[in-house]
Structure 1
Amino acid sequence: MSNILLISPEPWGANFVSKHHYALELVKRGNIVFYLNPPSKGLGKKVFVQQLNDCSNLKIVDYTPIFRGLNKLPAGLSSFLMKLDITRILKVLNVDLDIVWSFDPFRFQKLNLFLSKFKIYHSVDVHHTTKEYLIAKNADVIFSTAHKILNKFSEIKLPKYFVNHGLASHFIDNKSLIKYSLVGDQLVKVGYVGNLNYKYLDKERLYKIISENLNCGFYFIGPRYSNNLSNAEINKEFFNQLEVLPNVYFLGQIPSKELPHYLCLFDMFLMCYKGDENIASMANPHKLLEYFSTGKIVLSHYIDEYARYKDLLVMADNNENLPILFSKVVTSLDYYNSLDLQHKRKAFAYDNTYAKQLDRIESIILKYIKL
């Protein structure tokens, strides 16, 4: 059993991404995980540790920094105040940390101040900040879900490893799968899961695809308003425009454990981000594995990590081609959803569960430390 501090840029909440899933998987293995939320407001000098009712070894940590905006201060002063914040947190945790595992590119550049036996920096998105480089440099090992992201750290003389996104176990252990019913009478049902306020959403192509394919129902699963993954509502007007179309359905945010009951209802999935313009940022979206777990075809913008996996998805090198490719896939679903291709997608997803990714990460850690 290890005491692990997981530093996340996304707070604990209804919507789960990789940090949340890793925390749960670590707890399953008997570890005690302290999930450090982003800074809160109004807590004063107090640090709060909340134990989840259904998971005694997972503890959610909230705090307010002594000074907000540490990264804007001179380095010496920033380091001094950072050390005070870390000291406050460690005092309340009152344990010796075995691992500090940071997914946060902005906070706590000096991971060594947590006094843990091992330090991990895990980058799952592209970030444009010099602070991330400092955090990575202070780690013992660097992980990332994209080779293009790892390349950013090429000058750091530390072990660096690609570890793909993970798939939660409930997308596999679904023997009691209940097929929910969907509104709409369109013959083809297209699924989209994710944060609807994502800044790289290709609204122009998405609207074109939906408005030109009224025989298809488009089902959006995800928060449209402020949530634990994003406080912005930058696409509000766009989704108001979509809402009046007769083939658009918003299902709202759905807990991760319930997603398999919905995903099994779709004939195909659509990803429509500006991947052709933001190759590094779109290098490896985490929702793909959940889509692959159904076996159904995915039509997507360009995704660098999957450029060589022609059987898994249909990908547009240029987003201008997405509407044409959509028509091609919709009219050939028998081929793209053949049993052979469905098997390949499921096998790929099942080989990338969070349990298997954690096995891979643990084997790497053990090369450098004995916990």
Structure 2
Amino acid sequence: MKTEKIFYNGRMIGSIRYSFFNEEEEEEYQMEKENLLQIIYPPTISWSMEWQRPHHILRQFAKHGFNAFFVDPNLHSMIQIEENFFITNSLSYFRYNKQNILYLTLPIPDLCNEIPYKILWYDIVDDEEIFNHIKNFKDQHQEMILKADIVTVSAKKLLERNLKYREDILYLPNACDWDLFSKVSIEKKNNKRIGFIGSLGHWLDYDLIDYCLKELNDYNFIFIGRIYTDKLNDQVEKLKENKNFIYEGVKSFHSLPSYLEQIDICIIPFKKNKITDAVSPIKLFEYYASGKLVVSTYFDEIKNFPFLLIARNKKEFVKQIQRSFAKVEDVDLRKQIREIAKEESWNNRFHKIFPKIMEKI
């Protein structure tokens, strides 16, 4: 048996192991695998995290007939999630397939040298600044933009910031699982419940959230998602001092509509900075597919989104929440909001990237 280790930023992220009884068996295995068309997402984020862009993109490729593999070294085996959609802990399977679509959201040069691929797709989903702690990230990022067959970005700011390296970058914003979230009822109701779904990370404005909790103390604020780092536990504990703050923890992706059923309006209380200006929040599309009115802080990617109630300071955020509750029983308005999300589905995103894939095959 031979093992080849894959490293990123000095850390081993995976390995390829292969062994055969003789050369004839190896050749037979290689011939069998090399004609399969499949997309691979190498070890980057955990499968068990809240569903993010790579989860959704791979699922769409699986739905359209591709074999799709999400690699997470924390797993113990290969598991089939849905038809054509697998999670696995090993890169071994892919060594003999020359039809691989290698899908990256981080520049991993060693991986490109070890895994054969037909198409290298580099998907830029965050601003470079968020990776300042990774040595040589900027150089590797630029190298990957030039090397990749296809480069996409999730936000317009990311497009602006990377066009200097390459002109054919495709803008492919985030989206929603329309079939799942459109099941949420939009019947008239007002339970005075305000919701947030997503990671509680450093990009949230905790002072703003605390202010809203105190100013709107007769409303319940329901937060669903993991606390991004242990350092933020104190922030969340401080919010819990308000009796109207309800932290539900992490919930499975497919259970989220049942929680949204109990929520009247949704919020996106992000900080305003260079990083959030380059964010395309999946939650916005999911809120809209659920027929929810949404109040958000101001950042570039969503500033022109129809029906979105935007606030530029704490007082305005509270006022926008109050305005949204004045409209919460307007079923026709909520139907219009839902229809917007119908055009912002992951299925539609697949049909935007698919022609680019076919051009390269």
Shorter-chain TM band: 0.7 to 0.9
Instruction: Pick one of 33, 47, 50 that aligns with 2:77.
Output: 50
User: Percent of pairs identical after alignment?
Assistant: 20
User: What secondary structure is seen at the aligned counterpart in 2 of 1:237?
Assistant: helix
State the match for 1:189 in structure 2: 193
Aligned twin of 1:290: 286
Q: Aligned pair 1:249/2:246, yes or no?
A: yes
- Residue matched to 2:204: 201
Q: Which amino acid aligns with 1:132?
A: H
Distance change in 2, residues 1:122/1:296 (3 Å)? same
Task: Tell me the SS of whatever aligns to 1:251.
Answer: strand
Q: How far apart in 2 are the matches of 1:119 and 1:158?
A: 17
Deviations 1:231-278 (A, max 9, x none): x22210121122132111111111111111111221111111112x33
The answer (yes or no) to whether the contact 1:119–1:141 under 8 Å persists in 2 is yes
Q: Say if 2:226 is the partner of 1:223.
A: yes
Q: Within 2, Cα distance between the matches of 1:336 and 1:141?
A: 42
User: CA contact under 8 A between 1:8 and 1:104: conserved in structure 2?
Assistant: no
Q: Give the AA of the match of 2:46.
A: P
Task: Quote the Cα distance in structure 1 between the aligned partners of 2:117 and 2:94.
Answer: 15
Question: Superposed, which structure 2 residues align to 1:57-68 within 5 Å?
Answer: 57-62=84-89
Indicate the larger mover: 247-256 or 165-174. Answer: 165-174
Kindly state the Cα deviation for residue 55 of structure 1 after the two structures are TM-superposed.
Answer: 3.2
In structure 1, what is the Cα distance between the partners aligned to 2:278 and 2:192? 27
Deviation for aligned residue 1:167: 0.9
- Counterpart of 1:214 (choices 212, 217, 220) is 217
Quote how far apart the aligned CAs of 1:360 are: 0.9
1:124-273 superposed matches below 5 A? 124-128=125-129, 129-130=137-138, 131-157=140-166, 159-172=168-181, 174=183, 187-196=191-200, 198-224=201-227, 230=228, 232-273=229-270
Report the Cα offset of residue 329 of structure 1.
3.1
Distance 1:280 1:329 in 2: 21
Q: Is the 8 A contact 2:79 2:88 kept in 1?
A: no
1:369 alignment partner in structure 2: 360
Which of 30, 36, 42 pairs up with 2:65?
Answer: 30
Counterpart-to-counterpart distance in 1, 2:92 and 2:277: 34
Q: d(CA) in 1 for partners of 2:318 and 2:205?
A: 14
Deviation at 1:60, TM superposition (A): 2.9
After superposition, where does 1:73-92 map in structure 2 within 5 Å?
Answer: 89=91
Matches within 5 A, 1:345-364: 345-364=337-356
Say which SS state the counterpart of residue 84 (structure 2) adopts: strand
Structure 1 segments unaligned to the other structure (5+ residues): 41-47, 64-88, 180-185, 225-229
| TM-score when normalising by structure 1 | 0.76
* Paired positions, count: 316
Alpha-carbon RMSD across the aligned residues, in angstroms, is 2.8
Q: Distance in 2 between matches of 1:260 and 1:187?
A: 16
Instruction: Work out the CA distance in 2 between the residues paired with 1:13 and 1:110.
Output: 22
SS of 1:192's equivalent in the other structure is strand
Q: CA deviation at 1:168?
A: 1.6
Shift of 1:297: 1.3
